[in-house]
């Protein structure tokens, strides 16, 4: 009887230890880029919690992730966006890096977050002061600005609520993407 109690106690301790290990590893995993996210979000006047939520949705913090449409890294940045960013910086070194090996550049977490934040801010500029600003920015990041223009055609975006805009999204994956990020982001506020 004593032996059974001892084995049961050891089993409970082992399961508890494994559970704690999994919990703390997950906390490390999802927060290991927090400093990079906060720095780049500040540079591009974005809420770092929103950027964090985008990365969570895009790759769950897997820097090596590659998408079906050649997106690379944490924020799933496309080579085309990286080249636009490099040109915009005016720094020849970045233009050279994107021409030589854009995949390597985008695999660097710091550079990937920087370019992803730049692209989010570029998208955000078009929808500034709209009640649906964040939803439109996220939809543009996921499906492209031309799709957002399609969905809002003939509407005053300064009067369009976030809920109404999300209802206009006719791509189910984009609608789910925007809704999921906003839910996670709002849960952090």
* Token pair listed for 52: 């964090």
* Token pair listed for 56: 């969570």
What are the residue boundaries of the structural domains of the chain, listed by start? 1-31, 36-188
Average pLDDT over residues 61-90: 93
CATH class of segment(s) 36-188: mainly alpha
Residue-level pLDDT at 159: 94
The pTM of this model reads 0.89
Chain segment 8-63, per-residue pLDDT in tens: 666 666 676 676 666 766 777 889 999 999 999 999 999 999 999 999 999 999 99
Residue-level pLDDT at 20: 64
Write the secondary structure of 18-69 as one string of H (helix), E (strand) and C (coil): HHHHHHHHHHHHHHCCHHHHHHHHHHCCCCHHHHHHHHHHHHCCCCCCECCC
Confidence of residue 3 (pLDDT cuts 50, 70, 90): confident
């Amino acid at each position: 009887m004593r032996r059974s109690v001892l084995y049961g106690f050891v089993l409970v301790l082992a399961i508890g230890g494994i559970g704690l290990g999994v919990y703390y590893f997950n906390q490390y995993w999802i927060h290991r880029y927090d400093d990079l996210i906060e720095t780049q979000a500040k540079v591009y006047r974005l809420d770092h919690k929103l950027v964090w939520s985008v990365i969570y949705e895009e790759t769950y913090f897997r820097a090596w992730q590659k998408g079906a449409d050649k997106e690379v890294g944490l924020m799933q940045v496309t080579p085309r966006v990286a080249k636009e960013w490099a040109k915009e910086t005016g720094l020849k070194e970045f233009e050279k890096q994107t021409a030589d090996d854009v995949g390597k550049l985008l695999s660097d977490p710091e550079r990937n977050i920087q370019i992803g934040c730049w692209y989010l801010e570029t998208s955000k500029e078009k929808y500034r002061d709209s009640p649906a600003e964040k939803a439109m920015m996220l939809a543009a990041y996921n499906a492209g600005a031309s799709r957002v223009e399609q969905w809002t055609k003939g509407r005053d975006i300064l009067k369009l609520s976030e809920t109404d805009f999300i209802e206009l999204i006719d791509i189910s994956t984009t609608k789910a993407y925007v809704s999921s990020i906003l839910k996670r982001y709002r849960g952090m506020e």
